[in-house]
Amino acid sequence: MYGDDPELIDFVEVVIHSGDGKVVAVRTWDSDRDVERATDEMMSFVGEYGVTEIRQVDAVLKPEFCPDCGQRTYRIVTDGDARQAGAATHHSHT
């Protein structure tokens, strides 16, 4: 979930990636969408890629950009992150 205000969600993003952090696919839903419909679409999207495990960042994050190239970075949870207590995410480009 992303927004400039922690209380407001501007958009939700699903990032499909390999366990080592390589981004495979990204899809974004804006906040004007019906929550149930967007959830159904997200589940359908991940199903198309055969995703067997879903990890979620439980926070409203500010969109971030690479300081070198200006491209949006994606917040992902890698296998290594999942094994470390307290470690949540790292950033990646597509």
β-bridge partners, 87? none
Q: Does residue 73 fall inside a structural domain?
A: yes
Among candidate residues 83, 92, 35, 33, the one with its CA nearest the CA of residue 55? 83
Query: Considering the domain boundaries, does residue 74 fall inside one?
Result: yes
Q: Quick one: what percent of the chain has pLDDT higher than 90?
A: 4
* pLDDT, mean over the chain: 76
Residue 6 lies in a domain: no
Residue 47 lies in a domain: yes
Expressed as residue numbers, the domain containing 27 is 11-92
Q: Distance (Å, rounded) from C-alpha 73 to C-alpha 30?
A: 17
- Is 4 part of a structural domain of the chain? no
Chain segment 17-55, per-residue pLDDT in tens = 877 778 888 888 886 767 778 788 888 998 998 888 887
Domains identified in the chain, total number: 1
Alpha carbon of 32 to those of 3, 10, 17, 28, 57: distances in Å? Answer: 13, 8, 26, 12, 20
Contact between 50 and 41 under an 8 Å Cβ cutoff? The reply is no
Say if 84 falls within a structural domain. Answer: yes
**Torsion sign, CA atoms 27, 19, 81, 55:** positive
